[in-house]
Amino acid sequence: MLANQGSTAKIVRPTTLRESVLERILELIIIGSLKPGQHLVENELADNLGVSRQPVREALQLLSGEGWVDLRPGHGAYVHSPTVEEADQLLAVRTLLETESARLAARNPDKTDISDLRDICNRGLAACVADDVDAAVAANSELHTAVVNMSGNRVLADLTSQVARRVRWYHTPVARHRGRASWEEHAALIDAIEAGDEDVAADIMRRHTEHTRQSYLESRAQHPVEEPPAPIRRRRPRAVSG
């Protein structure tokens, strides 16, 4: 249905099918079309995406590696169900990783990088003032990514981005809760990095991410979890069964 593949024109396939399938499924998970705990039936996805089961299967394998879906051998793939506890732990780990990133970034700051950071920060603040939530969220993750990359530790960067992507999943609904203050913290962080003050940079980052964690938990307390249901759900009502 929503497949652009199979069209007559020989559209250059920019990437493999399984990758575009992966992106599509991931998007469906993030925006919530595929709900936590939901059983991902390969045939359905394949039909909806206009491909065969094979690329779907492979995309699911890859997604399981990033924690988005759980594979139950013999049962299939299920959208990972984020519990409050896990979200909290995830946010704690993110704090740990990003704090270290900030420290390392401050250890040997780079003029160009600093300049980039300030640009992003300004954009974010502007978006925040303009009440453009999407742009603010985008700038936010962009900035954090930039800091992590400045750490110079690729392993750390990879791990962090992996964790951060999942955090963002939980985080999105509460993104608007922290506006201006968040960007002031960012600005202070950049100052510390530029000054090469490891401890200050680390401290700011720690408090900053802890802040996020707190506001997440509070927001979660107000809007309690919607669904731990759908543990198995197989076989729809079934038709007449002639």
Q: Which residues bind a copy of itself (CB under 8 A)?
A: 15-16, 19, 57-58, 61-62, 64-66, 73-74, 86, 89-90, 92-93, 96-97, 100, 153-156, 159, 163
Which of a copy of itself, DNA, none binds 110 (CB below 5-8 Å, type-dependent)? none
Please answer whether residues 51 and 3 qualify as being in contact, where contact means their C-beta atoms are separated by less than 8 angstroms. yes
Which partner from the list DNA, a copy of itself, none does 90 bind, CB cut-off 5 to 8 Å by kind? a copy of itself
Q: Which one-letter DSSP state was computed for residue 108?
A: S
Q: Which is nearer to DNA, 54 or 108 (CB)?
A: 54
The stretch near DNA (CB under 7 A) out of 134-142, 174-182, 218-226, 234-242 is 234-242
Q: What is the DSSP string of 220-233?
A: HHHS-------SS-
What distance in Å separates the CA atoms of residue 124 and residue 62, rounded to the nearest whole number?
A: 32
Positions 62 through 121 that interact with DNA (CB under 7 A):
71-77
CA distance 63 to 71: 10
Stretch that binds DNA, among 28-36, 52-60, 148-156, 206-214 (CB under 7 A): 52-60
Nearer CB in complex with a copy of itself: 83/122: 83
The string over 91-113, giving b where at least 16 C-beta atoms fall within 10 Å of a residue's C-beta and e elsewhere, is: beebbebbbbbbbbbbeebeeeb
Question: Which amino acid does the sequence have at 59?
Answer: A
Cα–Cα dist 141/146, whole Å: 8
Identified binder of DNA from the candidate list 52, 83, 122, 214, rule CB under 7 A: 52
Shortest Cβ distance from residue 35 to DNA (Å)? 16
Taking the complex as a whole, how short is the minimal distance between the CB of residue 233 and DNA, in angstroms?
7
What pairs with residue 203 in β-bridges? none
Rounded-to-integer distance, Cα 223 and Cα 68, Å: 22
Applying CB under 7 A, among 41, 93, 159, 230 the residue interacting with DNA is 41
Interacting residue ranges for DNA, rule: CB under 7 A: 5-6, 10, 13, 16-18, 39-44, 51-55, 57-58, 71-77, 232, 234-236, 238, 241
